[in-house]
Structures are given as structure tokens and as C-alpha cells.
Amino acid sequence: MNKTLQNILSFFRRKALSLSLVLLCLLLSFNSMAGEIQSMRIGQGVGNVRIVFDADSSFEYKAFLLSSPSRLVVDVYNIDVDPKIEKQVAKNNIISSTRLGNVDNSAKRIVFDLAKPAIIKKAFMLAPQSNFGWRFVIDVAIASEREFKGKVGTGYAFTSSDNPKAYAKKSRSSSDKAKPKKSAQKVIVLDPGHGGKDPGAIGYSGVYEKNITLAMGKELKKILERSGKYKVYLTRSTDIFIPLRDRVKIARKYKADLFLSIHADSAKNRSAKGLSVYTLSETASDKEAEALAERENKADVVAGLNLVEHSKEVSDILINLAQRETMNRSSEFATFMVKEMKNSVKLVDNTHRFAGFAVLKAPDVPSVLLEMGYLSNSTEERLLKQQTYRRKLANATQKAIDDYFDNMQHASLF
């Protein structure tokens, strides 16, 4: 083989080696970008939003704030991003729009334009579980302009290497793995209606509503606490009068996850019967609901505290403060209540109703009012006086509460 032929063969070998290296690099690059962020969802809370990215693999990230204009920036590494997420911004009060771009060959940038000052509270990756794949979660909360400016820049970034003890499953000992973390108990405030100077409705045979509601409240508290999942408080545990707005204050004092006001109805028509569930509305769903709300709200006059006459402005402010998210969650719980109760007791038509009950006006606590039945009806009065019947109602209520919080847990993590 002459020298010229050797040179030609050597040239092609070098070219083949270079081509192989290029192909290998492309293959490795393709494999590293094989994962994809497939979708994004934004959940509105009270003063905050949760952004959740669904992906088919774990990835590294960096989330930080920038100003002029105010925006949240999320850089994700070695993963692709479906362009459709730009259009997946659900209506909320913090993020106005989303844009997608490239930082370099290994990073994608997702930019969220902020409608108002906000800060990043948490950023963490969730491993696949149940029907969910990998999820990257960012919690963003409304803040003052000063707080926002104090957190601007990459120096305050949340990265995939942050908070290993809180969010990443790293360096756990076998003893840690053997001890699953106990989930925090939900706080429930039960409000037995009326009491003291205010007897409430007077039944067919003369029984007082205040006694029936207190007995039901105690029964339900016992059943809920027995489950071990709830910390339960009563607004009253004895026959005392508590103004309606003070009942709301009690729920907020305990930072309740749910507030349930317990009542029994009455009507001029003695044949009227059936259970109903109410949530807050600025306008009542029907004339009967409006009349009932007016009757209940005027209970504050009993102790000389005429809030109807002197606190209309406060009442109006409370209604305006009732956050849409809280009202939505109240309605969700009411839906679960109706679903469980219909399997146990007779319901009125249009069981879930809406009225302006003062006791439901906590702006940040999902609140529902339960009318267990009509004490003016001889049959329902007899049933409500029986512990076995009240326990039946309490068991159905517990199932509704369990379903509500199970649903909220999935919704919060998407």
C-alpha cells in the first residue's frame, strides 16, 4: 500500500471518528432532553397561587423574581417544555400572563408576569404517586412592594438543591423512612345555633332548638375526634348566648379549616320537613331562604346587640371581604354534605341553598350552615330528639368532611 493510499484511509478514519463523536453527543443531548414538562396548572388561594408543572421526569430548576416589570422567572434544565403551557394561565389575582423562551441549549425559561407584588414562598419537586407523575410546585403569595423588592434577583433564587430536609427525599436514614410523618389535624369549629336567652325555634311539642343543636354539636365533635384526623372546637358547650359575629371570631381565632353552624328549622306549615344546607350569598336563593337568614341574623337583638340596625356597614364589609375561593370551598363542602345526607335522611327540594347568614361571613374560613330538619313537624321533632338519629346525621357529616378534605388535598397538589 503506497503512502498516498495510507493518507486517504487515515483521513476517512479521522472523519468517521469525528462523526461518531458528534452522533454520540447528539444522542446524549437527546436523551438528556427526552423528558418534558407537559402541562401547567395554577390554583387560586386566599392571597396566594400555587403553580404546578406536570412532567414525565424529574429535572433541575431555579426560580427567582425580577423587577421592571415585575415577574417570576423559572429556569428548568435538561428537560423540554410543551409550548402550550403559555396558554394555561387560569384566571387569578397574581399572575397575568406567561411566556416561554430559551436560556441556552440546556435550559428553558418560563416567565410569569405579575399583576401585583408577590414573593416565592416555596418551590419543590414531588415524586410520582397515585395517578400523578412528577410535579414541580411553586407557591407564590401577595406581598408588599417593599417585600417584593427585597427578594428580587438570582441571589434569592429557589433551586433544586435548596431545602433538602423539607422537600427532597435525600439522606434519610432507615429509621426516618420507618416513621411516616403524621399529617397535621384539620381544625373544625362546630357552632351549635342559639343558646342562653335565645331559644331558637320552638318545636311541635315545645322543645327548644338551642338544646337540639347543642346535643348534635357534642355528638359530632365526639365522632370527628374519634377518627384522629380532626381537632374540634365548639363555639359553645353549655347553654349560653353568643352573638353571631362572635361565633365567626371564634372560628378565625382557632384558624379553622372548616366552620359548620348547626340549626333546626321551623315553619308555619306543620307538614314541611327535610334537611337543607346553606352557604353564603349576597342575595338569597329564594324568598324562604332570605326570610330565614333575616330571622337568624336578628338573634343578636336578644342580648341588646342590634347588629341589624347598627352594624350594616360592618356586615356589608364582611360580605365584600368574603373571598371567592372561600365561597367556592364552602359550596364544595355543601355538595359533599348533600351527597352523604341524601343516603340517610329526607332532604328538601334544592337542598343546597344560599342566603346572607351573618354566621357564614368569615372571609377566610369555608363555612356552611346545616338545617337538620323542621322542629315544627311532629315526626322530625321526634327524630331530632333521639340520639340514634342525631348520630346518624353526625356519621353522614363525618363522611362529607372526610370527602371534602380528601378532595382538597388532591386539588392542592393537582
74 contacts: CB under 8 Å, gap ≥ 6:
61, 62, 63, 109, 110, 111, 112, 138
Which pLDDT score, from 0 to 100, does residue 186 have? Answer: 93
- Least confident span in 12-16, 379-383, 407-411: 12-16
Assigned C-alpha cell, 284: 338569597
89: which DSSP letter? Answer: -
Question: Once rounded to an integer, what is the mean pLDDT over residues 337-345?
Answer: 90
Q: Which of 42-56, 148-162, 215-229 has the highest mean pLDDT?
A: 215-229
**Sheet with 48-55, edge to edge strand ranges:** 80-81, 36-44, 48-55, 134-142, 118-126
Do the domains at 36-163 and 186-413 have one common CATH topology?
no
> Alpha-carbon distance 385 to 190, whole Å?
19
Cell numbers given for 381:
321533632
Cell numbers placing 333: 363542602
More confident position, 324 or 58 = 58
Fold topology of 186-413? Aminopeptidase (3.40.630)
pLDDT mean across residues, the chain: 79
Domain ranges within the chain, ordered by starting residue: 36-163, 186-413
Region label for 142, one of left (φ > 0), alpha (ψ between -120 and 50) or beta (otherwise): beta
Q: Is the pTM of this model over 0.85?
A: no
What is the spatial distance between Cα 177 and Cα 180, in angstroms, rounded to a whole number?
6
pLDDT band at 291 (very low <50, low <70, confident <90, very high): low
3-state helix, strand, coil in the chain (%, to 5): 40, 30, 30
36-163 classified as CATH 2.60.40.3500: yes
Q: How confident is the model at residue 381 (pLDDT cuts 50, 70, 90)?
A: very high
pLDDT for position 177 = 41
Answer whether residue 169 shows pLDDT above 60.
no
Entry field: residues in the chain: 414
Residue type, 316: D
Spatial contact of 67 and 154, defined as CB atoms under 8 Å apart: no
Residue 122: exposed, middle, or buried by beta-carbon count in 10 A (0-12, 13-18, 19+)? middle
Give the dihedral of Cα atoms 161, 165, 171, 177; nearest 10 deg. -140
pLDDT-wise least confident of 16-20, 33-37, 346-350: 16-20
Cβ atoms of 252 and 328 within 8 Å: the answer is no
Of the pLDDT bands very low, low, confident and very high (cuts 50, 70, 90), residue 315 is: very low
Per the DSSP assignment, residues forming a β-bridge with 64 are 73
**pLDDT tens track for 195-240:** 999 999 999 999 999 999 999 999 999 999 999 999 999 999 999 9
Helix (H, G, I), strand (E, B) or coil at 255: coil
Q: In the prediction, which pLDDT does 372 show?
A: 95
Indicate the SS3 state at residue 62.
strand
Q: Which DSSP string do the residues of 234-253 spell out, in sequence order?
A: ES-SSS----HHHHHHHHHH
The pLDDT of residue 165: 37
Question: 144-152 long-range contacts, Cβ below 8 Å, gap at least 24?
Answer: 144/117, 145/117, 147/117, 147/119, 148/65, 148/67, 148/70, 148/117, 148/118, 148/119, 149/67, 151/65, 151/119, 151/120, 152/64, 152/65, 152/66, 152/67
Do 376 and 203 touch, CB atoms closer than 8 A?
Answer: yes
Chain segment 107-150, per-residue pLDDT in tens: 899 999 999 999 999 999 988 876 788 999 999 999 888 889 99
Instruction: Tell me the mean pLDDT in the region 85-112.
Output: 86
